[in-house]
Chains A and B, each alone.
Chain A
Amino acid sequence: MHTKFSAIALSVAAAFALTACGQKEEPKPVAAPAAPAAPAAKPEVLVKLGHVAPMTGPQAHLGKDNENGAVLAIEELNAKGMEIGGAKVKFELMAEDDAADPKQGAIVAQKLVDAKVNGVIGHLNSGTTIPASRLYAEAGIPQVSGSATNPKYTQQGFATAFRVMANDVQQGKSLGEFAAKQGVKTVAIVDDRTAYGQGLADEFRKAAEASGLKVVATEYTNDKATDFKAILTKIKSTKAEMVFFGGMDAQGGPMAKQMKQLGIKSKFLGGDGVCTPEFMKLGGEAAEGNYCSLPGMPLDKLAKGPEFRDKFTKKFNAEIQLYAPYVYDAVMVVADAMKRADSVEPAKYLPAVGKTSYDGVTALIEFDGVGDLKGGAISIYQYKGGKLEYVETLGAVGDMSIAKAEVKEAVAEVKDAAKAVAGAATAMGGEAIKAGAEAVKSGAEAVKGAAEAAKSAVEKK
């Protein structure tokens, strides 16, 4: 009883402190009624966002990159000064390490849930994101990951799970289609037996086989390996024209190098895990001329891309490794949803997250029914002269399908018109038929034009 009383006393004191000098304490529910009584200074609300990524272990460099992206976003938000629910908000990042270990992921998630964070950014790995998502879902805290690409994450049916990046299904599919376009007929697949690598490799296989490619070898490695000569020698014996690797840069770089040492001339293709400066550093000359993919569009092609890169490198004195822009966007999406809902309470702003339409650095972010990014585009890059060079963008799935539907509709209309003309023709004479046919022709041309316009519009996007 005694402790309860002192707690009330404390919170009253806190309320006074709040009104007095605009402290950065979050007003507790008890203190809330006291706040409007003091209109002099605007109250400040502390919004805690959790961020989780591995800060130890082999993926620590990516973890730091993610965290930097979040830090940048939060600093900008605070500098800009946002008002939600009539109060000034101050964002604060609670950065945690899950060491890419599912068990630690759950503990860290619980820690964030206890700390009553208003939202969670992350985790980095699908392996930790999936078990943690259950805890956030139970606590009703929105979770936006900028890098967990495993389709399962959003397929579990949690209302709180979102991601601002194309998933492995979309990426693997685009990569398979791209491989088929390269004029190769046989392909060898290597996967690193992690959730990410295996998922990507499986989707790639499906798409490649559907496009008529022959998978002549499937080999495996692990995410701690440095020697790939045995499996590469095996691949060499199959004379595959292209080698696809589902895995990360730390293995991909040396793998490309060892391919060269073994005299393998096949092309090398990989997903976002090898689309990094690190890959080029580790692969050296062997990286040259190879292809890889990244979800979204290249930073330089995006309106806000170069600006983001400048800000990032200036602030952290480091190159963007991989996911930092996505994590940055993830923070912004949460902030945007809070603003639209005019509340920082998870329960209140969660519905707003689903209705996001935010023009971020990486894309126009909108979510589908399960929380996946709508129409996630995949871009292909080539390593040239120690740099990643943009090649093309594939599978702006959403836009394309909309355009296709529109064209189809137009075609159907023209067809109807033609039928009508034909009908009229049987009833009337030659002159009318000619005129009718011409009308149909011009109609068809209009459709063609519309289709082309739609196509170019998609390409522009």
Chain B
Amino acid sequence: MDIFFQQIINGLVQGSIYALVALGYTMVYGIMGLINFAHGEVVMIGTLVAITVVGTLVDAGMPVALAGLGGVSASVLVCMALGWSLERVAYRPLRHAPRLTPLITAIGMSIVLQNLAMMIWGRNYLTFPSLLPRLHFELGGTHFTFIQVVIVVVSAATMGGLLLLVYRTRLGMAMRATAQNPAVASLMGVNINRVIAAAFVIGSALAALAGIMVGTYYEIAHYQMGFMLGLKAFTAAVLGGIGNMAGAMLGGVLLGIIEALGAGYIGDLTGGFLGSHYQDIFAFVVLIVVLMFKPSGLFGEKTGDRA
């Protein structure tokens, strides 16, 4: 049983990270119906910036806690700027273009960002400095670390904050209005450009946070780390119903847990025929099954044809 709980914890932590990244996808999608494929790369940039800043500050003699704080703020700021410029330079001019055009642009930006990062930070895997104390807990045979607790708590808090922002502030209202109908929203005095830019900036800030958490958790970073993560997070967003914030969070956590349990138990369930080499399949199989019965995801509203 402790093994089962251990798998749940594994999945929960991984899922919280997916959820945080998925929020970025879903926010942008909900408002402008665009899959921002480069979102995973923003996460990567966030992680790498944090490494550089923390490293420099610690070398300059700053205590780790302060340096960590500096790293987090620098990374969040850089990513916000990056998100803003992505929208301004790459996506805004394409707002009325055919639907697949921004998708290709996003793929192009993803390649550009990866290669830029490779030039700046090199090809090697980098070690992420440990910002948090490495505390280790054991509860009835189940192991977890302080960092894992922090990840789950920070993710939950960030998501809560985001929900408040969307449902309790003027900006949030403007966002929802734009998502409903951009033309009408703009007639009602909503500055669409500003709202969309805000969605990108907030999503990127979340990406930076997610990147830092991934970094502290696994203690490694690499210029290609964003792609797979982004893909999984995107799957999570679709699973939950893309465009729906709560759906993205639940989708993320669900995906994390499915993966962990799948890897842990598929071998026993199939008598050894399928093993953990099919781990990456579970997410997709569950997704396909869910979409067969609920074509707009678990929590998605019925939307019109957007293709």
Contact = CB atoms under 8 A, between A and B. Distances in A.
Would A and B touch once assembled, by the CB under 8 A criterion? yes
Interface stretch (A88-96, A233-241, A335-343): A233-241
A206 to B, nearest CB: 18
B219 A284 contact: yes
Most chain B Cβ neighbours within 10 Å, of A234, A254, A257: A234
Interface in B211-266: 214, 218-220, 222, 224-225, 228, 259-264
Interface string A56-69: 11101100100000
B10 A233 contact: yes
A233 B127 contact: no
A231 B279 CA distance: 9
A255 B145 CA distance: 16
Contact of A221 (B125, B143, B220, B276): B276
Given A231-B263, A254-B218, A222 B280 contact: yes
Interface in A216-264: 218-222, 224, 226-227, 229-231, 233-234, 236-237, 249-250, 253-254, 257, 261-263
B277 interface: yes
Contacts, number: 95
A451 interface: no
Interface in B40-64: none
Contacts of B6: 233, 236, 262
Interface residues of B, number: 36
Given A64-B123, A262-B143, A233 B219 contact: no
Interface string A267-287: 000000000001001101000
A61 B222 contact: no
Contact of A229 (B125, B260, B267, B277): B260
A226 B123 contact: no
A226 to B, nearest CB: 5
A58 B222 contact: yes
B91 to A, nearest CB: 26
A238 to B, nearest CB: 10
A230 B259 contact: yes
B138 interface: yes
A261 B228 contact: no
Contact of B3 (A218, A220, A224, A237): A237
A42 interface: no
Nearest to A224: B228
Contact of B275 (A56, A61, A219, A222): A219
A193 interface: yes
B265 to A, nearest CB: 8
A431 B79 CA distance: 99
Nearest to A261: B145
Contacts of A56: 118, 123
Interface in B79-132: 118, 122-125, 127
Nearest to A64: B123
Given A58-B224, A219-B276, A220-B276, A236 B3 contact: yes
B16 interface: no
A234 B276 contact: yes
Sort chain A's interface into a size bin. 20 to 34
A221 B280 CA distance: 9
B11 interface: yes
B123 A61 contact: yes
A226 B225 contact: yes
Contact of B276 (A231, A236, A249): A231
B204 interface: no
Contacts of A261: 136, 143, 145
B225 A61 contact: no
A234 B264 contact: yes
Nearest to A54: B123
B14 A227 contact: yes
B7 interface: yes
B245 to A, nearest CB: 25
Given A224-B228, A234-B3, A254-B220, 11 more contacts: A56-B123, A60-B123, A61-B124, A218-B275, A222-B280, A230-B10, A230-B276, A233-B260, A234-B263, A250-B222, A284-B219
9 contacts: A227-B218, A230-B261, A231-B279, A233-B3, A233-B260, A261-B136, A262-B6, A263-B143, A284-B219
Interface of A: 56-58, 60-61, 64, 193, 218-222, 224, 226-227, 229-231, 233-234, 236-237, 249-250, 253-254, 257, 261-263, 278, 281-282, 284
Interface of B: 3, 6-7, 10-11, 14, 118, 122-125, 127, 136, 138, 143, 145, 214, 218-220, 222, 224-225, 228, 259-264, 267, 275-277, 279-280
